Amino acid sequence: MSEGGSDEFSGRLGLIFATIGAAIGTGNIWRFPRMVGANGGGSFLVPWLIFLFLWSVPLIIAEFALGKRSRTGTVGTFRIFAGKRFAWMGLWTAWISTAIGFYYAVVTGWCINYFQTAIRGGLGSEVDTVEVWNSFLQNPMEVVFFQAIAVAITMLAIWKGAKAIEKVNVSLMISLFVLLFAALFLSFVMDLEDGSLDGFVYMFSIQPEYLMQPETWINGLSQSAWSCSAGMGMAITYSVYMRKDEDTTLNAATMCLANNSISIIAGLTVMMAVFAVVDDPLAAVSGGSSAITFLVLPEVFAQAPGGPVVQLAMVTMFFLALSFAALTSMISTVELCVRNFVDHGIERPQAVGFTSLAIFFFGLPSAVTWILVDDSTGVAFPQFLEVQDHIWGYGLMFSGLFIAYSIWKYGWNRYRVWQEENDISGFSLRDYLDNGVSSFRDDFINTGDNDWWIGKWWDYIMYLGFPLMFSVLILSYFADMLVNVENPWDPTNANGISIILLFWGITAGLFIGLNRFIIINRIVPTTGNPWPLAVLSGNFTLEPRPLYRNVPEGAEVPIDTLPGGEDPFIVEVGEALPESFVDDYGETRPHTGSSIEAELA
């Protein structure tokens, strides 16, 4: 059964804060400074900003447009926009986000633990940060406890739907802004003490030699892609709760610019503090994400001017801000999964409970398994968690490619319809550009509700630029492993290529296989045997799986021109389902759950 009614954000502010919260995560606060330090400071900012407008903003615009029209999560969106056969692409997108959430909940727990440790004075100048880190990471019960806290907070935040998500994100984001600006001010004072402001200068100084290195541009592209959550389905999910007249273009730009602004603030905070007290600042900020965040920064903040009170405030504010950033990303990750369950008739409380438990239990291996110690540094590190990130981190690139594919397919379909309407045969590139390529933009972006009119530049990026950038990212990723990883093709090598291809291949194959039997249809036993036995014996039939669209009042729009939009089992929340359907053999059969589900809907 489905939700009792449609859900929506109260207005643009709620949508903006929710999407900003989805985009802003730990990567803004710990990965971005590391990228800046390792890639020439201001030199890194050049490609990073360029790819903001070549990758992140165009893709977020597409996600907003897709979700606003489909009014479903990722599975339903691909079922509607790409057609029934490609609904598995939406499941892939949901899975990648959820799989990342398994270990991201563990990382969020780390942040919460470091906040409570800091506020108790456990990260002062006399503390050995390596010992603090090692003792925590090697204590399974403590790691799991804070992982559970992270999951519980996330579950409570999304339990009541869009309005609750909106309120929590507004509170957390405003608090995050205040905390980061306060930390930035203290870092500025630290960097100013020697009169050089060398951290600030390095952050914005362009070193031409770095711009000549392909690695700088590839890192800029990857940071922009991950940081804004472009292609992860977050924007699709939150756009389901958009009001009818909500703009997609300005919201997308605002979200991405706000995300990058937070990265700049966090980067400045870290760079100025590190340059102020560390003898070799570039080595410190380039030493790896966990190293700089949980090992270096507590030592840096412990040397802040103003004595113990200011030092305590500095480290506490930083880790509280980091916890807030992690939690807002966790909220969007879990909501993306929950929305897909709700779209297919599961009550929200059940979907939230099930998803939260899955996030927790499937995250346990990342929390407690394969905790090793680096022989050269003596620092503990979570090998299993890093392997998971290695496997699924780049999987989101395919989610972005699938979104682009949906746009390409829609354009091609509209071009063929235009040919039929005008009795034109053959292929004309000029006609295709005018009546196919521009169709998605004309029909779903420039709808009259948008504050900014999007021109043909968006078409060029989505049709030509995006496949090129996707290829560069993937090829550079594998090339780097071929060059720098020993025995990259060894399937037992946790950092190699084979393990990634194996997991990607099994997952994609499973989802494609499930597409017809689970995603767009459901198995109904034809005998008294329970479901598993009916499947094994072949005594079952398939009937369409209902998909419920979350359409706020006054936001009704047609979807019948879309590849999957004519499916009668795709209905708005509250509408009755068809009583019969035509099966694969052309026979009309009754829908077994139609009367019950129509009443409950």
State pLDDT tens for residues 430-462. Answer: 999 888 999 999 999 998 777 788 999 999 999
Higher pLDDT, 527 or 235: 235
The whole-angstrom separation of Cα 554 and Cα 6 is 11
What's the confidence (pLDDT) of residue 599? 40
More confidently predicted of 303 and 69: 69
Residue 76 lies in a domain: yes
Res 290: pLDDT:
64
- Please state, rounded to an integer, the average pLDDT across all residues of the chain: 89
Express each pLDDT in 335-378 by its tens digit: 999 999 999 999 999 999 999 999 999 999 999 999 999 888 88
| Residue 391, in any domain of the structure | no
CA distance to 124, 307, 355, 379, per residue, from 129 (Å) = 9, 19, 35, 10
Enter the tokens of residue 184: 């930035």
The answer to whether residues 575 and 439 belong to one domain is: no
The CATH number of the domain where 212 resides is what? 1.10.4160
What is the residue range of 251's domain? Answer: 12-386
In this structure, the answer to whether residues 382 and 412 fall within a common structural domain is: no
pLDDT band, very low/low/confident/very high, at 598 (cuts 50, 70, 90): very low
Do 108 and 223 lie in a common domain?
yes
Its pTM stands at 0.92
Residues 19 and 125 placed together within one structural domain of the fold: yes
- The pLDDT-based confidence of 157 (bands split at 50, 70, 90) is very high
Is 452 within the bounds of a domain? yes
**527 three-state secondary structure:** coil
In a shared domain, residues 77 and 106: yes
CA atoms within 13 A on the CB side of 22: 30
pLDDT over 80 at 420, yes or no = yes
Residue type, 87: A
Question: Are residue 427 and residue 527 in the same domain, yes or no?
Answer: no
Q: Is residue 512 part of a domain?
A: no
Residues 330 and 477 in one domain: no
Domain match, 61 and 87 both: yes
Residue 563 lies in a domain: yes
Residues 364 and 226 in one domain: yes
Both 489 and 525 in one domain: the answer is no
Model pLDDT, residue 291: 60
- Asked, for residue 511, whether it belongs to a domain, the answer is no
| Residue 6 domain flag | no
Distance (Å, whole) CA 243 – CA 12: 8
Both 109 and 202 in a single domain? yes
Question: Average of pLDDT values for 7-13?
Answer: 82
Pairing between strand 380-382 and 371-373?
antiparallel
Which among 464, 498, 532 is the end of a domain? 498
* Same domain, residue pair 406 and 360: no
Q: How many domains does the chain have?
A: 3
Residue 503 forms part of a structural domain: no
In this prediction, residues 273-286 reach a mean pLDDT of 81
